[in-house]
Structure 1
Amino acid sequence: MFDPFKDFDQAGYLRNLYGEKDPQIVRGLEHTLFRTGLDEALAHVAKRRTLGYSDFLAVHRILFSAFYPSAGQDRAATVPNIAVSKGNTVFAHPLDARRAVEEGLRIGQDKAALRQHPGEVMGWFAYGHPFLDGNGRTMLIIHSELCHRAGFCIEWQRTRKTEYLAALNAEIASPGQGLLDGYLLSFVGAACERQLWGGAIDGIRGLDGRSIEDAVDGEYTDVRVMQKYQAFEMSRAMSKADRR
């Protein structure tokens, strides 16, 4: 059980407002909230002239504040010394999450760069992993808006969850090698009107959050945890150096 606050028995999954512990109920409520808040979240990003880190926080808050009191707060605010991973993938240090997301936004707001590297942008967002839950759905909304502004879309409903996640994890481990670009570029389509996005996004297979759960590796003050984090970071740095 993913329990970074170590109070699951008292406060439920991630200190939710109802103290709910049943994972099936939690996932169902999360997805219902996502569907309910989707139009408002899309409207928020549409009216922003430039998308920034604050918009990541705002979208997450719109989607999940009815269930999580910490919605819209990143890991630097909620668990600043806790290392989080998923399977073999290690995410950014909480204090580096913003910087990772902002790198994705920097590339993503260059229309020509985004057309060539939609996967690299998503990889930076995913590596930043700013929230304890709801990252994938928040990223999808921001990424879809960036693509729209660049004049295209990713036809997510045609992707396969297992293949996408494999390419995403590979991108996080080896950034800038085109690993996720190669996958997503196969699903590029023409941009469509924003009012049509809600149905298309809601129809994406596997968007209900039922996947490998995040894990708490421990605190960064733990030598073992820090060594694991540093080894992953070194591997990423070598991958970026190879690209140059």
Structure 2
Amino acid sequence: MSDKYGVDQAPDCYPGTNVLINLLGLRNADDLDEAERYLNEVAAMKLEFVLPPYSLTTLKNVHHTLFEKIYAWAGETRTLALSKGMTRFCSPEFIEREVAKEFLGMADAGWFEGYSRDRLVSSVAESYGNINVAHPFRDGNGRTQRVVFEYIIFNVGYLVDWHSVDREGWIEACIQSFYGADQPLADIFDQCIGASLIENEF
């Protein structure tokens, strides 16, 4: 596993490494990555569909469920400034405001209920990208967001399957979204969102 954020941003890592201090005591990045994925899969089976409204609290609850056996700070918003390459995420003091603003926008849009599939794809892509820029957690943002957006998409009558998209595809699409190009994320959602479970679309 590559250094995700840079060792200069790692006061919460084991000394001299880019491995986050974890409840498993793992000090090898690849081992931690493998353990995360396995434990996430197990934990995800505990998650049940949640109706709107959604909020930062929803994200925190999902993150805690997915990572409570891995990190002591599971479900807590980050306090560390983060960047990845040329991408600098939201400063910690603005996370709550920015995430709340995005969820308020989705609430004002009726959580996309009644949207055509094409409009749904573009709308969730834009909102996903905006929350990704906020990057509420020290790690595990993508996995947490996908669960919450699965709730949002299912609530309006669609199934979604993320398995057709690899990690690099997600990363590249999120980078493009950061710079204002939402189409790569929209392409991913178009690929992952299935047919409507509701016969009559508006």
Q: Call closer, same or farther: CA 1:154–1:184 in 2, change over 3 Å.
A: farther
From 69, 76, 91, the equivalent of 1:73 is 76
1:116-155 matched pairs, under 5 angstroms: 116-155=122-161
Give 4+ residue runs of structure 1 displaced > 4 Å after superposition: none
Q: Corresponding residue for 1:240? A: none
1:7-22 matched pairs, under 5 angstroms: 8-9=14-15, 13-22=19-28
Q: Corresponding residue for 1:62? A: 65
Task: Give the residue type in structure 2 aligned to 1:35.
Answer: E
Q: Corresponding residue for 1:87? A: 85
Q: Measure, in 1, the Cα distance between the counterparts of 2:94 and 2:174.
A: 19
TM-score by length of 2: 0.77
Task: Give the residue type in structure 1 aligned to 2:188.
Answer: L
Q: Corresponding residue for 2:188? A: 184
* SS across alignment from 2:63: helix
* SS across alignment from 1:9: coil
CA contact (8 A) 2:174 2:185 kept: no
- How far did 1:107 drift? 4.0
Q: Measure, in 2, the Cα distance between the counterparts of 1:159 and 1:6.
A: 30
Q: Call closer, same or farther: CA 1:119–1:21 in 2, change over 3 Å.
A: same
The size of the alignment, in residue pairs, is 182
Q: Measure, in 1, the Cα distance between the counterparts of 2:13 and 2:158.
A: 44
1:1-244 matched pairs, under 5 angstroms: 1=3, 2=7, 4-5=10-11, 8-9=14-15, 13-41=19-47, 43=48, 46-75=49-78, 79=79, 82-108=80-106, 109-111=111-113, 112=115, 114-174=120-180, 178-180=182-184, 182-187=186-191, 188-190=193-195
Q: Where do 5+ consecutive residues of structure 1 fail to align?
A: 193-244
Q: Call closer, same or farther: CA 1:120–1:54 in 2, change over 3 Å.
A: same
Q: Call closer, same or farther: CA 1:153–1:21 in 2, change over 3 Å.
A: same
Sequence identity (%): 22
Q: Call closer, same or farther: CA 1:154–1:100 in 2, change over 3 Å.
A: farther
- Kindly provide the CA deviation profile for residues 106-137 of structure 1, in whole angstroms up to 9, marking residues without a partner as x: 34423336444121011012111111111111
- How far did 1:173 drift? 1.9
Task: Give the residue type in structure 2 aligned to 1:23.
Answer: A
Q: Measure, in 2, the Cα distance between the counterparts of 1:8 and 1:53.
A: 29
Task: Give the residue type in structure 1 aligned to 2:195.
Answer: A
Task: Give the residue type in structure 2 aligned to 1:62.
Answer: T
Task: Give the residue type in structure 2 aligned to 1:147.
Answer: I
CA contact (8 A) 1:153 1:189 kept: yes
Q: Call closer, same or farther: CA 1:186–1:55 in 2, change over 3 Å.
A: closer
Q: Measure, in 2, the Cα distance between the counterparts of 1:106 and 1:168.
A: 21
TM-score by length of 1: 0.65
CA contact (8 A) 1:171 1:180 kept: yes
Q: Measure, in 2, the Cα distance between the counterparts of 1:49 and 1:185.
A: 20
Give me the CA root mean square deviation.
2.6
Higher helix fraction (1 or 2): 1
- How far did 1:16 drift? 1.2
* SS across alignment from 2:45: helix
CA contact (8 A) 2:52 2:152 kept: no
CA contact (8 A) 1:117 1:181 kept: no
